[in-house]
Amino acid sequence: MHTYRPKDRAVTDGLLRFTLALNDDGGMPFLDSQDLWLTAVAGLEFVHHPDLAPLTRRMAAFVASWQAPDGGWPFATGMHQTDVDTTTRCMEFLHVAPDRYDTVLANATSYHTAMAGVDGGFPTWVRGDAPDLDMTAGAILALAPEREHHRGPLARAVDFVLAAQLPDGTFERSWTISESSAIQRVLDALHAVPELAADHRAAAAVGRAIARLVATQHPDGG
């Protein structure tokens, strides 16, 4: 922007956002907010905790109010670009939220089914981009409650996930350096659609993944 449109307002706005995000020690964070993504992730945990569950009604209303016109969610308020990762987490949360959000979830389901690739994988940002293992596992979890209506996309997504396992039981790690995080996401997805992951391939994949976790556990239990 400095090179090609130095006087554009986006430059001024961007510099302002930089200064507002600057930490007291002079460091700059990678992101200045993930409020929608984090609210959904926290809500998934809070809803099962008696002392925290009362907070989830407001949290769900906040998440639902920020659904974008395309049916997805951005990872922070004030953003326009939606992504499969945040949309998945928001859907997971709203499926178990104290108030029902049928219309919101229906729109989010349409967003997800439109993002699916012909190979069964789901990208992060834009339909047609390279598929991502973590996004695909998350999409399975998001669509699982309505699986009777989406057996085709879910079956293809399960096939994609199973084909992505490496010989040592791990999976491509996507956004994280934690191989166990990717394993957990995949196993959660397979367990969410047992009727679509009931063949010998899934059983073998789960066995390899568990064996990897057992083999790599540290002496302190972590």
User: 25, exposed or middle or buried, with CB in 10 Å at 0-12, 13-18, 19+?
Assistant: exposed
Which listed residue (83, 85, 132, 134) is catalytic?
85
Report the amino acid identity of residue 114: A
Quick check: is 188 catalytic? no
| Tally of residues, the chain | 222
Given a contact cutoff of 8 angstroms between Cβ atoms, the answer to whether 123 and 172 are in contact is no
Given a contact cutoff of 8 angstroms between Cβ atoms, the answer to whether 118 and 69 are in contact is no
Tokens linked to 188: 């959660």
Given a contact cutoff of 8 angstroms between Cβ atoms, the answer to whether 129 and 77 are in contact is no
Dihedral angle sign, alpha carbons of residues 61, 65, 66, 67: positive
Given a contact cutoff of 8 angstroms between Cβ atoms, the answer to whether 107 and 146 are in contact is no
Question: Which residues are CB-contacts of 41 (< 8 A; sequence separation ≥ 6)?
Answer: 89, 93
Given a contact cutoff of 8 angstroms between Cβ atoms, the answer to whether 205 and 162 are in contact is yes
Q: What positions carry a catalytic annotation?
A: 85
